[in-house]
Structure 1
């Protein structure tokens, strides 16, 4: 599990990903799930959720939420004049990265 955590948690700059297709992210999730199953010697068809839960490791969605929350918190709390200027711009407030962040951090109720 340490091998998985050290290599599969460090998805550098994933909090800045904003231009990707849902299908691309789904393929990435499948690869991420398959890596864990291979390390555990499990067949591809077994439950990924169960494998993650039983072994105390985070799935890709959790890893991405943590990354986004961490970066967004740092941006919001920064007193750096350049970061403050960017944070107050419409590109930050209404841009694609902010939209992806909100989509990851806040689940919307349907129905």
Structure 2
């Protein structure tokens, strides 16, 4: 599990991703899940919900939310003048990255 955490949690700069197709993200999720299944010797077609929980491993959505929350928190709390200027700009407030962050952090359940 340490191997999985060290290699599959480090999706560098994923908190800055703002332009991608849903199909691309779905393929990444499948790859992430298939990697864990192979490490655990599970069938490709089995559900991973219990495997994630039992092994204390996060799924890709949780990893991405954590990355976004961490970066957004650092940006919001920064006293650096350059970061403050960017944070106050309309590009930051209304831009695609902020919209993606809000969509990841505040998931709405429909139904």
- State the distance in 2 between where 1:108 and 1:87 align: 25
Q: Per-residue deviation at 1:13?
A: 0.4
- State the distance in 1 between where 2:58 and 2:110 align: 25
* TM score, norm. by length of structure 2: 0.97
In the comparison of the two structures, how many residue pairs are matched?
111
Of 101-110 and 35-44, the range deviating more from structure 2? 101-110
String of CA shifts for 1:49-99, please: whole Å, max 9, x gaps. Answer: 122112110000000000000000000000000000000000000000000
* TM score, norm. by length of structure 1: 0.97
Q: Per-residue deviation at 1:48?
A: 1.6
Q: What is the match of residue 89 of structure 1?
A: 89
Aligned-pair Cα RMSD in Å: 0.9
- State the distance in 1 between where 2:100 and 2:39 align: 31
Structure 1 gaps of 5+ residues are none
Of 84-93 and 47-56, the range deviating more from structure 2? 47-56
